[in-house]
Amino acid sequence: MERRNDPTRLSLPSDLEIVVTRDFDASPAALFQAWTEPARVRRWVPCPTMTMPVCEIDLREGGPWRWVLRDPATGVDHPLSGHYTDVARPDRLVFTRRHESFPGSDHVVTVSFVERGGVTTVSQVFLHPSKQSRDGHLASGMEVGLEETWLRLADLVGASASASAARANP
Amino acid sequence: MDNLSLTFAALADPTRRAILARLARGETTVTELARPFDLRLPTVSKHLKVLQRAGLVTQSRDAQWRPCRLEAKPLEEVARWAEAFRAHWEDQFQRLDAYLDEVTPRRKRGKKK
ipTM value for the complex: 0.71
Candidates B9, B84, B95; nearest CB to A142:
B84
What is the β-pairing status of strands A92-99 and A119-127?
unpaired
Rounded Cα–Cα distance for residues A91 and A63 (Å) = 18
Which helix (H) or strand (E) segment holds residue A154: the answer is helix A150-157
To test the contact with chain B by mutation, choose from A2, A153, A169 the residue with the greatest count of B C-beta atoms within 10 A, namely A153
Residue A1 binned pLDDT confidence (cut-offs 50, 70, 90): very low
| For B17, nearest residue in chain A (alpha carbons) | A157
Residue A109 has pLDDT above 80, yes or no: yes
Residue A159 has pLDDT above 70, yes or no: no
Closest CA of chain A from B64, distance in Å: 30
Rounded Cα–Cα distance for residues B72 and B2 (Å) = 17
The reply to whether residue A15 touches residue B12, judged by beta carbons under 8 angstroms, is yes
What is the β-pairing status of strands A76-88 and A64-71?
antiparallel
Give the three-state DSSP class for A32: helix
How does the average pLDDT of chain B come out, rounded? 81
Judge if pTM exceeds 0.80. Answer: no
For the four alpha carbons of B90, B93, B95 and B100, in that order, the dihedral sign comes to: negative
Q: Where are the beta strands (DSSP E) in chain A?
A: 9-11, 17-24, 51-57, 64-71, 76-88, 92-99, 107-116, 119-127
Closest CA of chain A from B10, distance in Å: 11
Per-residue CA distances from B84 to A86, B18, B77, B87 (Å):
29, 25, 11, 5
The reply to whether residue A152 touches residue B83, judged by beta carbons under 8 angstroms, is yes
DSSP 8-state assignment for residue B15: H
Residue B5 binned pLDDT confidence (cut-offs 50, 70, 90): confident
Chain A residues 96-135 within an 8 A CB cutoff of chain B: 117-119, 122, 124, 131-132, 135
